Structure 1
């Protein structure tokens, strides 16, 4: 007799499972079907878990971590590049000052030679006697002067910043500054190359300056100097005895460091005239205060009124020259976005914004003064102008502070010693003449908005003196670009 396939079951089967072809009784058939349903439910749960796992799959966390690592890497690289840039910039400034010193000595030597030629030329003109031997001597002297100038222009200073390498992950600027010394002694020329970047700058480095840097190329165009061969031989006597041509040029070269053309070119610029007017304005304020204090001088009131009127005229003239200049600083703000050092770029941008706001407020006050527009509370706008001026000078002094810290760090690096004494820092600071001039100028200017805002009580005499000093230093920076901090 056939029985149920379930073990220990003695009942007769009444049904066959279509899936496994097993014979089961009623009770075990239901139990067998329940087991199959439970197993199917278990697989449904597994499918649901797998579906959820697939839906939740994401690599955002890994990529975010990789991006953070990449940002840390680029920040480290930028810090290293900033240090290298500051070091090379310090070397470039030091080399520039040395070349300028050599140029000054060269000019002094050439002036001495030209003075001798001038003396002999005057003697010949007075005696009205000259021979071919003297003409040949003059010709030789002029050729030698031309040759010296040509050699100095072409050989003494050449700056080259090049990059021909491909960028890679181990990128490091290949910057090298070589100083080539040339010592001329009659027919001998001694060439010495110094590649030691850690050598102190107290030694005299001469002539050829070359720098190779990544990732740009800048090669200044050399100025060609025409030799005497281009001068026609038949014009030589007339050129030698032309009092107004040759003698005038010699006098200009030997007796004057500042030519009339340079003065005219400087005063023709709006910025140049503004600096001159500013000196007159603050000097007039100081002199007016001086004559007020000096009561015993005759006609004191006339002098005081004269200088006060002169100060007012200069102030009004400068305000008219600044009309519409706030637009110029929009370009400076946009250029600050392209500075790679974000700290310096932000500082430059804020300074440009303050300068633009200062010019805008000054223009509005000028229009109000001439009754073109009407302001109910013009004194508040004048207060805002002084506050913006104070912020401008504070940011400029902050920039000077960063420049000082960079100079101290680079100076100690090149001296290979950790001397942080006050005298050592003062020597490093004094070697950076543009930084010293800019800091003193900003400190002197700082007294004016502080006194206008009644933060510091300063009399008009000290205001005038500080403004005059700052104006003279500003004029010096505008006249000679070597005294300006790099932008």
Structure 2
């Protein structure tokens, strides 16, 4: 019960719950539409989705200030790539929240002459830029961990070769094992396949050993399709958008319930 009270007290957790509800409505509406459901039921689901979206916008009032504070903290990171990606991503999030707040004012009638489509497109552009930077940060961290893992494996292999019972293979032996009549193209294709297999194995090992990085990568990839669809850059349809939004919302809730799953810094 205490855990639930602390969870419910966090406005971010509440917003994530409303977000999950919104995209669940999107996915449900698409499923019912494909199944030939009653038009009245579809209308009610769309209205519920719109109301939940409006509540979410209300709960995000003031989030721009929080994003700016996060950007100020990220400026002091020692790694220049992480500093750039995280700082600029937070600045884009601040602009996204600001546009979203203006859009909320237009939807509630406080700004009746507001061009809602224009501000919606503007907010999604900032959202897209933030996600691209977040994915760049994820890719950079994966690369750093892959290099570390590769060095660790290399050190272990050298230690094994140092043993007299396991001498290192000679280049001549490697070439001979390929066969005396192996063509250079076959050798290069085999080497390329071996390198690709090794890289994929390293990526899998890195992500398996780093759940926060894996969750952040999957969450950002799922979120990426939302602004791409809304901006018309890569339209996937409401069903796919709803599934992606629901998945990323559930992953965000996991990082709130279990803070150790949140990628730092």
Output the TM-score relative to the length of structure 2. Answer: 0.80
Q: Secondary structure at the match of 1:457?
A: coil
- Cα distance in 2 between the residues matched to 1:374 and 1:284: 27
Alignment of 1:426 onto 2:164: no
| Aligned residues of 1:407 and 1:429 also touching (Cα < 8 A) | no
Q: Describe the shift of the 1:454–1:417 C-alpha distance in structure 2 as closer, same or farther (beyond 3 A).
A: farther
In the other structure, the counterpart of 1:312 is 50
Alignment partners' CA distance in 2, 1:405 and 1:434? 15
Match in the other structure for 1:404:
142
Give me the whole-angstrom Cα distance separating, in 2, the residues matched to 1:266 and 1:376.
Answer: 36
In 1, the alpha carbon distance for the partners of 2:150 and 2:21 equals 42
Higher strand content, 1 or 2 = 1
Q: Are 1:456 and 2:228 counterparts?
A: no
Structure with bigger helix share is 2
SS in 1 for 2:61: coil
RMSD over equivalenced CA pairs, Å = 1.7
1:290 paired to 2:27? no
Give the aligned partner of residue 392 of structure 1.
Answer: 130
In structure 2, what is the Cα distance between the partners aligned to 1:443 and 1:388?
16
Cα separation, 1, equivalents of 2:209 and 2:72:
32
Q: Does 1:362 align with 2:103?
A: no
What's the offset of the Cα at 1:376?
Answer: 4.8
Runs of 4+ in 1 over 6 A off after TM superposition: none
Pairing of 1:147-158 with structure 2 (within 5 A): none
Change beyond 3 A, Cα 1:377–1:306? closer
In structure 2, do the counterparts of structure 1 residues 363 and 411 end up closer, same or farther at CA, with 3 Å as the change threshold? same
Question: CA–CA distance in 2 between the matches of 1:343 and 1:272?
Answer: 29
1:262 corresponds to 2:40: no
Q: Deviations over 1:381-427 (max 9, x none)?
A: 21111111110100000000011001101112223368834224312
Name stretches of at least 5 consecutive residues in structure 2 with no aligned partner: 158-194
Structure with more relative contact order (C-alpha pairs < 8 Å, separation 6 or more): 2
Distance 1:479 1:366 in 2: 28
Say whether the 8 Å CA contact 2:106–2:114 is kept in structure 1. no
Question: Which of 17, 33, 36 is equivalent to 1:276?
Answer: 17
Structure 1: any 5+ residue segments left out of the alignment? 1-259
- Residues 408 and 429, structure 1, Cα contact 8 Å, conserved in 2: no
